[in-house]
Amino acid sequence: MVGLGFRREFAEEMISGELITPDFIEFAPENWMNIGGYWKKMLHRVLEKYPVLCHGLSLSLGSPEEVDKTFLRYVKSFLEEYKVRIYSEHLSYSKCDNAHLYDLLPMPFRMDAALHMAARIQQVQDYLQRPLAMEIISYYTPVAPEMSEADFINEVVQRSGCQLLLDVNNIYVNAFNHQYDAKAFMAQLPLDKVAYIHMAGHEQVSPDMILDTHGHPIADPVYELFEWTIRQIRPVPVLLERDFNIPQMQDLQEELTRLKSICHQQWKHHELVA
């Protein structure tokens, strides 16, 4: 299954399904919970048409402070109300000293941070009664690392029992920005835990820096890395993210079709799953 991130900019087109037909949609619960009026009606219309996965933005599981239990209650009720199949979050933090920063910040790759994050993921999984799929974020600087990124991820996954959301573009961006080999990095990950894949575009802004913008088509080297990646894992849902510079729907549909064709080619001997 190949889905598309649901955005207000192209809500009508997705609901009409004339120019674009993803297999499922994904959105951040934060952007849709506790609202009414026009957008609640639109949400209900799109949910009549597509299965939904949710990708959280502000649980901030790497934060030094406690999990926000009030917010977590809202998330649980939202996931249940809309029968969300997969709920994913990020291996990062976006809140510190009880102040939200509304961005995904890089965790220090250190044992105390890994233990802290694993415990919080476990706490949330226990409360939600479902595994979380945790996304490896793109980041632009390491922060006082004492272990490798792959060791950090393995530690968190092993201790928390969470699943992984593999954003192939993030891995490509990180490999470029931090000068490592993307495939060698992925080979160190617990790929049997991958439950979900994200794909997106990026922009190179300087000779040594790529930004994970979600504002461009998927780059060819990322397609190549995607093809390599999915040969290593069982079939999982794949999502196209496009948040800025929204193109014509036909262009997005072409990207969905290309992703689907790669999945079909590589996973043709597996049963497709949702």
Partner 1 sequence: MSSLPDSRQLQQRFTKHIRTGVRTIIPGVAQDRLAHYRHAIFHMVKDTMESAYPVTCANIPARKWDRMVRDFFAHHACTSNQVWKLPLEFYTYAVENNWDEVYDIPYLSDLLAFEWAEIEVFNMEDIAPAAFTSTGNWLETPLVLNPEYRLLSFKYPVHREAKRARLLKEQGAWFVLLHREPVNGHVQFTGLSPWLAFVTEQLAAGITVKDILEYAPQLGITVTAELEKDTIAFLVDMQRQQFVLGFQP
Of 9, 12, 17, 38, the one binding partner 1 by CB under 8 A: 38
One DSSP character per residue, 60-75 reads -TT-SS---HHHHHHH
| String of contacts with partner 1 for each residue 71-110, x by CB under 8 A | x---------------------x--xxxxxxxx-x-xx-x
| Binding of partner 1 by 145 (CB under 8 A) | yes
Nearby residues of 108 by Cβ (< 8 Å), 6 or more positions away: 143, 144, 145, 146
Q: Which residues 175-194 are close enough to bind partner 1 by CB under 8 A?
A: none
| Binding of partner 1 by 244 (CB under 8 A) | no
| Binding of partner 1 by 13 (CB under 8 A) | no
| Binding of partner 1 by 169 (CB under 8 A) | no
Of 12, 69, 73, 142, the one binding partner 1 by CB under 8 A: 142
- Least distance (Å) from partner 1 to the CB of residue 145? 6
Residue number with CB closer to partner 1 (30 or 135): 30
Instruction: By CB under 8 A, name the binding residues for partner 1.
Output: 30-31, 33-41, 58, 62-64, 68, 71, 93, 96-103, 105, 107-108, 110, 112-113, 116, 140-146, 209
